[in-house]
C-alpha cells in the first residue's frame, strides 16, 4: 500500500493557488497550436474546459454521446450555484464557503482543492453574467441569492428552477463559438470506449460512432474526462438514463485509481417511486426547502388528507431535531431523517415511503408582504394566499408545474410528497491538485473526479465545481504537463497502441453478440440496482455488504452467459450501448460494496449502521479513516487499496452538528 502524492503546492493555504498561478510552467502561444487535447463530455466541466482551452490556442476535440452538447445532464440541475460574493451582507467569505464545504463533506475532502474552489467561485458568477446567463435579480437589478442546505448564509445564485440549463447554455455558447471558428472539432453521438496508452501516458481514445457503429481512433497529447457521475449503478436515480461510468471505468482498468467509490449522495427531495414501470426518478430542487416545511403526521398510518391534519398533529421533524438549521440541514442528514420517520411507520401516501413538503406557511408569509407592498389593508385569507402563490410561482414555478404533470396533484393546493433517491456521486477518479489521475496526461474534471466534496456534497456545489474545473483550474494546470510535451509529435493512428486498444473494444462488442442469451440488458440492470439500493444505499452494514458482493459476482457471471443484445454492431444500436455500460456497472458495483465494507465508520452519505451515535447520527473514526481510499484495478477482478491521508491544518475537525 503506497501513500499517494497529491502534488499540493507548499505554503499557506490562502496563497497556494496564487503562488501556483504566478510560478507554474506555461506553454508559449505558438506551441499551443501544435498541442492536441481531447475532452470527453460536454456538460458544464467539458464545455467550459473545451471552450477555454480552444480560446487559449490549443487544438481541441470534444466528444459527447448526445446529439448536441447542450443535452448534457448538467441541464437537469435546478436549484443554483454557490459563490462567496457576500451580496447579502450576511457574513459570507471565501473561508466560510471553504469551511462549509469541508464540514458538509464530513471532513473527508482535501483542504487545498476545496479552498481553491471557494477562491474561484466568485469568478464563475462574473463569467456567467458576462456570457448573458439570466441569473435571478432583485428589484434593484442586483443578483439575488437564496439559501441551501448546510449553510447559514445566502450564497446560492439561481435562475428560477433551471439554473443548470441556463449555465450550460452559457458554456455551450462559448463552445459553439470555438467550433464555429474551427478551434474545436465536435464529435456528437460518439462514446469513448477506451483510453489509449503509450509508454505509460494517455495518448488518445477509442470512440464508437453511435450512428454507424464504426470504431474510431483519436490522438491527444492529453485526455480530459468530464463524464459525470455513476449514480445509475442503482438503476433508479435522478440521473439521465444515458449517464454512466464507462469512460471513468475504462480509465480505472488502464491504471487510474478510483477514489472513494462508496460515497453516494441520496437526495432528500425526490418524487417517490410510483411502481415497477419507472426507469428514472425526478428531482425536486433542494431550493424548495427554502420555503417548504417538511413534516409527517404525529399519528402512525394517518390516512387523512394533509390539509385535514391540524397544525398540532404535525411533526416538523427536521425543525424539531435540528433547530439551528431546520429544513436546511445537508442532504445526507435530511435523507436519513426521512427514512427514519418512514421506517418508524409515519410515512405518507399509498407506499408509506414519503413525507410532506408543505408551502402553506411561507405562501401566507409572502402574501402578507405583498399585500403591504400593494397597500392592501386587512386582506382576507384568500387574497393573502393568492398573492403569496404569485411569489412562489415566480421563484419555483417550473418545479411546481413539473410536479403536477408527474403526480397529477397541484402542489399549490396540497403539500408535495417527497422521498430520498440516488442523486450524485462524490467518489470518482482520484486526481491530484492538478486534476490529473494516476495516469500521466489523463485528467478528470467535475463529478467524474473525487476531489472536492468529501463524503457529502452540499447543494448547489456541483455546478460550482464543474465550472471552476473547466474555466479556471484546468487551463492553468494542464499547461504544467503540456509544457514538457511540446516536442511530442502526434502519433500515427496505426501505432500498435491504437490497434491493440481498438481490437480489445471490438472483441468485447463481438462477445456481446455471441452470447445470444434470453434476458435483456435492463433485466440485469434492475437486479443490480435493487441489490445496490437495499445493501449499499442509504444505510449499509457488514452483513448486507458481504451478501451484496457475492450477489453481484453471481449476477455478473449470469450476465455474461445469458444477456441478449439484439441487432448488429455496425448500426445505431442503443441496446449495445446499454450492454457495455451495464457490464461496467456490474464491476463498479462490487467495488462500491468493497469500499463501503472496508470503511468501518459512518461519514456523510456513507452510513454504516454499526457506527452511529445514540441519537442516530453518523459516527466518524478520524483516527483510522481520515483518508481518501484510492483503488487500483489489478485486472483480474481484484483491487488494491492506496491511501491519501487527509491533513487538516486550517480547520478544527469536529463531530458534525447541525443542531
**Which residues belong to the active site?**
331
- Sheet containing strand 190-198, edge to edge, reads 190-198, 201-209, 215-219
Nearest to 27 by CA among 486, 483, 487: 483
What is the rounded distance in angstroms from the CA atom of residue 170 to the CA atom of residue 176? Answer: 10
The contacts of residue 278 (CB under 8 Å, 6+ apart) are 236
Contacts 24+ apart (CB under 8 A), 15-20: 16/112, 16/115, 16/116, 17/115, 17/116, 17/119, 17/120, 20/433, 20/476, 20/477
Q: Give the three cell numbers for residue 240.
A: 439521465
CA distances to 129, 183, 290, 382, 419 from 412, rounded to whole Å, are 32, 49, 16, 13, 19
Question: Length of the chain in residues, anyone?
Answer: 659
Q: Give the three cell numbers for residue 54.
A: 480552444
What is the rounded distance in angstroms from the CA atom of residue 451 to the CA atom of residue 4? Answer: 14
Phi-psi region of 61 (alpha: psi -120 to 50; beta: other; left: phi over 0): beta
Question: Is 246 buried (19+), middle (13-18) or exposed (0-12) by CB count in 10 A?
Answer: buried
SS (H, E, C) 237-252: CCCCCCCCCHHHHHHH
Per 3-state DSSP, what percentage of the chain is helix, strand, and coil (rounded to 5)? Answer: 45, 15, 40
What is the rounded distance in angstroms from the CA atom of residue 381 to the CA atom of residue 364? Answer: 8
Question: Is 518 buried (19+), middle (13-18) or exposed (0-12) by CB count in 10 A?
Answer: exposed
Collapsing DSSP to helix, strand or coil, 282 comes out as: coil
Tell me the β-bridge partners of 270: 283, 419
Check: CB of residue 613 under 8 Å from CB of residue 619. Answer: yes
Say what the alpha-carbon torsion angle 537, 539, 544, 546 is, to the nearest 10 degrees.
Answer: 70
Nearest to 240 by CA among 336, 165, 160: 165
What is the rounded distance in angstroms from the CA atom of residue 331 to the CA atom of residue 341? Answer: 16
Question: How far does Cα 54 stand from its chain's mean position?
Answer: 25
What is the rounded distance in angstroms from the CA atom of residue 318 to the CA atom of residue 333? Answer: 9
CA distances to 23, 108, 387, 390 from 381, rounded to whole Å, are 64, 49, 10, 14
Tell me the β-bridge partners of 39: 62, 224
What is the rounded distance in angstroms from the CA atom of residue 525 to the CA atom of residue 182? Answer: 40
Amino acid at each position: 500500500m503506497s501513500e499517494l502524492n497529491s502534488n499540493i503546492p507548499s505554503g499557506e493555504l490562502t496563497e497556494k493557488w496564487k503562488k501556483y498561478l504566478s510560478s507554474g510552467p506555461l506553454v508559449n502561444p505558438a506551441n499551443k497550436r501544435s498541442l492536441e487535447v481531447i475532452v470527453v463530455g460536454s456538460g458544464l466541466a467539458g464545455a467550459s474546459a473545451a471552450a477555454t482551452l480552444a480560446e487559449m490556442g490549443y487544438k481541441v476535440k470534444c466528444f459527447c454521446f448526445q446529439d448536441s452538447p447542450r443535452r448534457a445532464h448538467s441541464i437537469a440541475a435546478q436549484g443554483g450555484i454557490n459563490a462567496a460574493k457576500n451580496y447579502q451582507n450576511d457574513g459570507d467569505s471565501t473561508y466560510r464557503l471553504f469551511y462549509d464545504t469541508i464540514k458538509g463533506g464530513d471532513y473527508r475532502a482535501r483542504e487545498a482543492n476545496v479552498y481553491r474552489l471557494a477562491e474561484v467561485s466568485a469568478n464563475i458568477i462574473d463569467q456567467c453574467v458576462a456570457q448573458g446567463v439570466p441569473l435571478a435579480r432583485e428589484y434593484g437589478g442586483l443578483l439575488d441569492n437564496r439559501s441551501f442546505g448546510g449553510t447559514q448564509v445566502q450564497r446560492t445564485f439561481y435562475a428560477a428552477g433551471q439554473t443548470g440549463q441556463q449555465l450550460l447554455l452559457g458554456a455551450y455558447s462559448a463552445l459553439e463559438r470555438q467550433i464555429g471558428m474551427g478551434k474545436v472539432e465536435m464529435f456528437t453521438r460518439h462514446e469513448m470506449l477506451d483510453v489509449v496508452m503509450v509508454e505509460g501516458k494517455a495518448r488518445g481514445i477509442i470512440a464508437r460512432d453511435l450512428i454507424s457503429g464504426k470504431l474510431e481512433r483519436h490522438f491527444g497529447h492529453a485526455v480530459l474526462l468530464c463524464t459525470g457521475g455513476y449514480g445509475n449503478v442503482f438503476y433508479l436515480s435522478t440521473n439521465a438514463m444515458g449517464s454512466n461510468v464507462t469512460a471513468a471505468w475504462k480509465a480505472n482498468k488502464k491504471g487510474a485509481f478510483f477514489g472513494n467509490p462508496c460515497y453516494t449522495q441520496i437526495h432528500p427531495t425526490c418524487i417517490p417511486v410510483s411502481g415497477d414501470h419507472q426507469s428514472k426518478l425526478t428531482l425536486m430542487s433542494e431550493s424548495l426547502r427554502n420555503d417548504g416545511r417538511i413534516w409527517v403526521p404525529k399519528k402512525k398510518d394517518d390516512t387523512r388528507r394533509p390539509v385535514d391534519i391540524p397544525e398540532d398533529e404535525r411533526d416538523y421533524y427536521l425543525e424539531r431535531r435540528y433547530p439551528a438549521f431546520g429544513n436546511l440541514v445537508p442532504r445526507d442528514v435530511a435523507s436519513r431523517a426521512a427514512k427514519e420517520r418512514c421506517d418508524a411507520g409515519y410515512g405518507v401516501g399509498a407506499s408509506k415511503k414519503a413525507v410532506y413538503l408543505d408551502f402553506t406557511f411561507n405562501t401566507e408569509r409572502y402574501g402578507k408582504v405583498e399585500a403591504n407592498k400593494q397597500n392592501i389593508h386587512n386582506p382576507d385569507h384568500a387574497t393573502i394566499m393568492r398573492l403569496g402563490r404569485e411569489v412562489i410561482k415566480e421563484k419555483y414555478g417550473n418545479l411546481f408545474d413539473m410536479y403536477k404533470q408527474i403526480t397529477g396533484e397541484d402542489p399549490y393546493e396540497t403539500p408535495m410528497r417527497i422521498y430520498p433517491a440516488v442523486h450524485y456521486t462524490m467518489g470518482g477518479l482520484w486526481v491530484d491538485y492538478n486534476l490529473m489521475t494516476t495516469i500521466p496526461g489523463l485528467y478528470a474534471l467535475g463529478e467524474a473526479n473525487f476531489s472536492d466534496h468529501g463524503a457529502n456534497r452540499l447543494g448547489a456545489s456541483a455546478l460550482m465545481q464543474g465550472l471552476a474545473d473547466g474555466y479556471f483550474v484546468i487551463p492553468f494546470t494542464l499547461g504544467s504537463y503540456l509544457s514538457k510535451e511540446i516536442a511530442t509529435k502526434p502519433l500515427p493512428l496505426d501505432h500498435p497502441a491504437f490497434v491493440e486498444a481498438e481490437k480489445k473494444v471490438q472483441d468485447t462488442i463481438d462477445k456481446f453478440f455471441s452470447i445470444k442469451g434470453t434476458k435483456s440488458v435492463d433485466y440485469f440492470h434492475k437486479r443490480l440496482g435493487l441489490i445496490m439500493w437495499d445493501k449499499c444505499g442509504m444505510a449499509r452494514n457488514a452483513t448486507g455488504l458481504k451478501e451484496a458482493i457475492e450477489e453481484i459476482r453471481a449476477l455478473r457471471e449470469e450476465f455474461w452467459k445469458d444477456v441478449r443484445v439484439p441487432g448488429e454492431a455496425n448500426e445505431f444500436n442503443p441496446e449495445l450501448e446499454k450492454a457495455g455500460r451495464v457490464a461496467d456497472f456490474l464491476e463498479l458495483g462490487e467495488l462500491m460494496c468493497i469500499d463501503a465494507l472496508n470503511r468501518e465508520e459512518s461519514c456523510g452519505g456513507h452510513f454504516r449502521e454499526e457506527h452511529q451515535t445514540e441519537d442516530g447520527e453518523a459516527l466518524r473514526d478520524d483516527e483510522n479513516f481520515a483518508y481518501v481510499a484510492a483503488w487500483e484495478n489489478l485486472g483480474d477482478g481484484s483491487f488494491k487499496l492506496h491511501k491519501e491521508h487527509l491533513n487538516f491544518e486550517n480547520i478544527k475537525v469536529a463531530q458534525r452538528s447541525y443542531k
